[in-house]
Amino acid sequence: MRMYHDSNCPYSRKVLIMAEHHGLGNIFEFVSPFTPEGLAAISQDNPLAKMPALVIEKGFAIFDSRVICRYIDSLRKAGASLYPAEGMAQWRCLRYEALGDGMLDAAITARQELFRPQSSKLQDRIDKQMSKLDAGLKCLESEVDLLEGELTVGIVAVSNALSYLDFRWPQLPWRDTHPRLAAWQARIEKLASFEAHPYIESDLLVKKLAAAR
């Protein structure tokens, strides 16, 4: 299946961790949207032209990461679903997936604002996004005991968001101020499915950003 993906896209990494966990890491044919050909193709398959997008039938792609993760989970041959089926476990899972993805949204929005020319940079917008990150980190630190247990897509989303902070916001000392969360995340990131997909700077993205300056 063709997947529009880049090695530093956090939402793509979430999908890849899910696939790796279920033994499906080799089902994808990767296409980068950071080439003229890739951009034209993703624009045709996904009207939003955003990654990740996964073509599951000719002429039919699914997106975003939450939908793709559900689809990947449905393809598993064995093992437990990463989506608890009932009770509070189900709602905790979906809540933490939303929190992890929301923290990613805030981190990416703030970083994009930093790349704007000084004349158009909106410090208030950066501050607003950083306050969301701070609130999310405080919430997770206080609820870290609820993150223990069987792996779920919510745990994948939260750990992935924290790894993105390490990757793109190394100046943010979140580990120092949230030690229990940091210890939990360090354990999760040692799982084979996480270690198989580290964040790697994309040469194509670097060239795109350089050309835009």
Helix (H, G, I), strand (E, B) or coil at 93: helix
What residues of the chain score a pLDDT lower than 50? 205-213
Architecture of domain 2-80+200-212: 3-Layer(aba) Sandwich (3.40)
* CA angle in degrees (0–180, nearest 5) for 199-132-64: 50
- Whole-number pLDDT of residue 203: 55
Q: Number of helices (H) and strands (E), helices first, in the chain?
A: 10, 4
Edge-to-edge strand ranges of the sheet holding 60-62: 29-31, 2-4, 53-57, 60-62
List all residues 6 or more positions away from 51 whose beta carbon is below 8 Å from its beta carbon. 4, 5, 6, 9, 11, 12, 33, 42, 63
- Whole-number pLDDT of residue 211: 46
Q: What are phi and psi of 57, to 5 degrees?
A: -145, 160
Q: Using omega within 30 degrees of 0 as the cis cutoff, is the peptide bond preceding 198 cis? A: no
- Whole-number pLDDT of residue 202: 66
Burial class (CB within 10 angstroms; exposed 0-12, middle 13-18, buried 19+) of 74: exposed
- Whole-number pLDDT of residue 116: 83
Give the tokens for residue 198: 């580290």
Whole-structure pTM value: 0.91
**CATH 3.40.30.10 residue window(s) in the chain:** 2-80+200-212
- Whole-number pLDDT of residue 210: 44
The CATH code of domain 87-195 reads 1.20.1050.10
Helix (H, G, I), strand (E, B) or coil at 132: helix
- Whole-number pLDDT of residue 212: 41
